[in-house]
Amino acid sequence: MTNLASSPSAVRRAYYEELSQGQRSALLSWLAFTTTFAGLRALTYSIRAGKGPFGNISLGGEHLHHYMWGIGLLSGVGALAVRGDERQRRHPAVAVSYGSGLALIVDEFALLLDLKDVYWAKQGRISIDIGVGGIALAGSYFAALPVLRRLQRDRRQRTLPPEPGAR
């Protein structure tokens, strides 16, 4: 097995040659979701423990939950999807914004579901379960991608008409 870390140009080449534009966007979204979700978990645990330089953000005495930033990101992505040109919609920043925005919302899904701040309560566990489940499903898809591609190639080869002169 080759060491991918020793050859960034090989990884970049494979990324562009083996993945379609849609698959690259999906991969970037999944990586952004996973990274943002994990970062949020670490950040919120450090805030709750009173460690690190970060704290809750409030405006006028009201705590601003991070799902609000996620809704803002997804709104921007939606605006580009509706009004942006093809080059803008296909930009990697759109995929990253989508994945990050979705993670910001999913991390507080239990709050949105119950409309109660259950983030640290037992009921808040649903947000973590949904986030981890999403990460697992997307990761499974990317792990299965080579098999799915092979099945698609085999199906295409079976449906192609025989070449002239072939028996």
Q: According to the model, what pLDDT value does residue 124 have?
A: 67
> If the chain, 167 residues long, is cut into consecutive pieces of 10 residues, what is the mean pLDDT of each piece?
60 81 87 91 84 78 84 95 89 94 87 68 73 84 78 79 67
Q: According to the model, what pLDDT value does residue 35 have?
A: 92
Q: According to the model, what pLDDT value does residue 139 have?
A: 85
* Alpha carbon distances (Å) from 145 to 26, 35, 142, 149: 12, 21, 5, 6
Q: According to the model, what pLDDT value does residue 117 have?
A: 67
With contact defined as beta carbons under 8 Å apart, do 36 and 99 qualify? yes
Question: Side-chain half-sphere of 13: how many Cα atoms within 13 Å?
Answer: 5
Tokens of 132: 């981890």
Tokens of 143: 């792990």
For 59-79, what is the HEC assignment? ECCEECCCHHHHHHHHHHHHH
**0.85 exceeded by the pTM?**
no
CA–CA gap between residue 137 and residue 41 (Å, rounded): 19
CA–CA gap between residue 37 and residue 30 (Å, rounded): 10
Q: According to the model, what pLDDT value does residue 123 have?
A: 66
Q: According to the model, what pLDDT value does residue 84 have?
A: 87
Q: According to the model, what pLDDT value does residue 6 have?
A: 53
Q: According to the model, what pLDDT value does residue 127 have?
A: 73
Strand pairing class (62-63; 58-59): antiparallel
